Amino acid sequence: MRMEEHAATWVNALVHLVPEGAQHYINVTVISAWVVLVTLALLAWRGTRRMELRPVTRTQVAWEYIVESFCGFCEGVIGPGGARFAPFLGTLFLYIVGLNLLGIIPGFISPTASLVMTFALSIPTIIYVQYVGFSSQGWRYLMHFVGEPWWLFPLNIPIHLIGEIARPLSLAVRLFGNIFGEDTVIAQLLVMSAAVFAKYYIPLPLHFPMVIFHIFVSFVQALVFMMLAAAYIGGALGHGHEEHKDEHHAAAGAEAA
């Protein structure tokens, strides 16, 4: 039995209601991801349905603070004009946080504990980075594959292509490994808790510290994913050699997290 079938029993029961031919595409991971998507959409709708110039609801105030924070982050990492990427990067961050945190709710799993989901997040992100590069620089964007000096292009092009292919792989595997590991540890501690509580009374569940750590890691991994995506976008924009070096260092620091 797979981990997701064991942990998400009632969600797995919903999967069995799906026609057998579609169960390969609509599984526990997909349904859990839809739950997060619908929840975020409802929260966004609630915060924007009665917008006022001077916010009168806490929901609108919260969303305005979140949007301003993402705009400031994008300006700081990407550079001038980076705020226009805040909708993409902010949505990416919030969605990944929701996917990560879903695993601490009984009856659910973290969809990001599946490599399929993390690749579904990383591949479109890298495709978007390439789109940004072409839309901002045109065909000149391809020159970054040639590198410097240009006469080493037979060596530089394969190296840069491998680097571009490695980006979605790195994003997907890092996110998957951290969340899958956290979910696995929490599941094992739940089993241990049942065995320990059968003999001894402990006022705090054994897995409680790991749940707190899981919440922390969920935000950190979403932040790392967003930071790397922002650094890649900054590099694709071609803001200049010195800024490109700074973006490279930012990406390297985030990858080490």
For the chain (257 residues), the mean pLDDT of every run of 10, in chain order, is 50 70 75 91 83 74 89 90 92 95 84 92 93 86 74 77 87 91 78 71 69 89 94 79 45 52
Whether 97 and 222 have beta carbons less than 8 Å apart is answered as yes
Crossing angle of helices 58-78 and 241-256, rounded to 10°: 120
pLDDT of res. 241: 37
pLDDT of res. 254: 54
pLDDT of res. 199: 73
Taking the C-alpha atoms of residue 82 and residue 164, their distance in angstroms, rounded to an integer, is: 22
- Domain map of the chain by residue range? 56-101+111-256
Taking the C-alpha atoms of residue 169 and residue 156, their distance in angstroms, rounded to an integer, is: 20
Whether 108 and 102 have beta carbons less than 8 Å apart is answered as yes
pLDDT of res. 206: 67
pTM for this predicted structure? 0.81
Residue 221: Cβ within 10 Å count:
23
Taking the C-alpha atoms of residue 112 and residue 100, their distance in angstroms, rounded to an integer, is: 6
Residues 6+ apart with CB under 8 A from 193: 205, 206, 207
Residue 247 has, within 13 A of its CA and on its CB side, a CA count of 24
CA 224 to chain centre: 8
Virtual torsion, Cα 182, 185, 187, 188, nearest 10 deg: 180
Residue 112 has, within 13 A of its CA and on its CB side, a CA count of 33
**∠ Cα 213 124 220 (to 5°):** 15
pLDDT of res. 256: 52
pLDDT of res. 23: 63
Q: What are phi and psi of 13, to 5 degrees?
A: -65, -35
pLDDT of res. 48: 78
Token pair listed for 242: 């010195």
Taking the C-alpha atoms of residue 196 and residue 189, their distance in angstroms, rounded to an integer, is: 10
Q: Which amino acid is at 248?
A: H
Token pair listed for 187: 């599941």
Cis peptide before 149 (omega within 30 of 0): yes
Token pair listed for 170: 């790195």
Measured in residues, the chain has a length of 257
Q: Which amino acid is at 126?
A: I
